Structure 1
Amino acid sequence: MNKLFNILVIDDDEDDQFLIQSAFLADRERYQFRFATNGSNVLENIDKSERLPDLIFLDLNMPIINGFEVLRNIKNSSLYRHIPVIILSTSDDEQDVNRCYELGANTFMVKPSSHQDLMELANLVRMYWFSLARIPTSRMND
């Protein structure tokens, strides 16, 4: 039996949440999704989940606590820093890109403007991160 991957999507746009999840439907028995619409939800609830995410999609521009702050908290935590974080943002500002990598992002991608292109991007992410790349399977030791 294949491993069940736990994916956390942190994005205040529910349409984008849906499209990202839809890109994984072809192989849906392998993926379980959780969603958060702002950074505050994530920081308050990440410890309460039964299992940590295997991968996080993170938007930068969100209400209450933005993606930069969420990324900083995740990557500064010995419990969560091993989780790959994919920034998926409408921003293509060079300073945002540099700041995300400085904070420990694993990938920075600009959200496409069309729904079809977002589906294709999410499908490529799925193929790369869950077929080609090796990701950590448990909490890492310091």
Structure 2
Amino acid sequence: MKESKLIFYLDKDNSDLYFTRKAINSLGHRVNTFLNGYHLLQALRNCTEQPDLIFLDIDMPILNDEEILNVIKNSDYFKHIPIVIVSVAYPKKLVRHLVKNGANHLIKKTRYAELKIALAPIFLN
């Protein structure tokens, strides 16, 4: 039996959070969701179990993806946690910038069935 992973997922859209939670749960993993970056960082600082993976939507209110990525990757305690950036589109300049600043994966927001397929390889690492 595969090990269940704890995932933190940040998105400003409740419906995206719902479908992503459903897709990740169907793969046998647990998800904590957040509507703003401040709450995600609070949860990170106060958690008894660190997440195995963090998903960040871009263009977030109250701490954007770049600010959150910077805090996580500059923390000795959190910098080992892989970060997946989620967006509808990725301009080349943005991709280079996010990868340079510590993003480990980038995936496009998509329909539920496609999301499960896109997520599966991430959980194999």
- TM-score normalized by structure 1? 0.79
Letter in structure 2 aligned against 1:67: D
Correspondence for 2:83: 85
* 3-state secondary structure, aligned to 1:86: strand
Matched residues in 1 for 2:77 and 2:22: separation? 29
Between the two proteins, the alignment pairs up a number of residues equal to 125
Matched residues in 1 for 2:64 and 2:75: separation? 17
- Report the Cα offset of residue 122 of structure 1: 2.7
Correspondence for 1:126: 119
In structure 2, relative to structure 1, the CA distance for the partners of 1:48 and 1:77 (3 Å cut) is same
In structure 2, relative to structure 1, the CA distance for the partners of 1:102 and 1:121 (3 Å cut) is farther
1:8-50: CA deviation from partner (whole Å, max 9, x where unpaired):
00111111111111113434xx321101111111222211112
In structure 2, relative to structure 1, the CA distance for the partners of 1:25 and 1:51 (3 Å cut) is closer
- Structure 1 unmatched ranges of 5 or more: 134-142
Matched residues in 2 for 1:105 and 1:49: separation? 22
- Report the Cα offset of residue 101 of structure 1: 0.3
Matched, 1:75 2:68: no
Q: What is the Cα-based RMSD across aligned positions, in Å? A: 1.7
Deviation beyond 4 Å, 4+ runs, structure 1: none
Identity %: 30
In structure 2, relative to structure 1, the CA distance for the partners of 1:91 and 1:125 (3 Å cut) is closer
- Structure 2 unmatched ranges of 5 or more: none
- In the TM superposition, 1:40-119 aligns within 5 A as 40-112=38-110, 116=111, 119=112
Letter in structure 2 aligned against 1:103: N
- TM-score normalized by structure 2? 0.88
Matched residues in 2 for 1:26 and 1:42: separation? 23
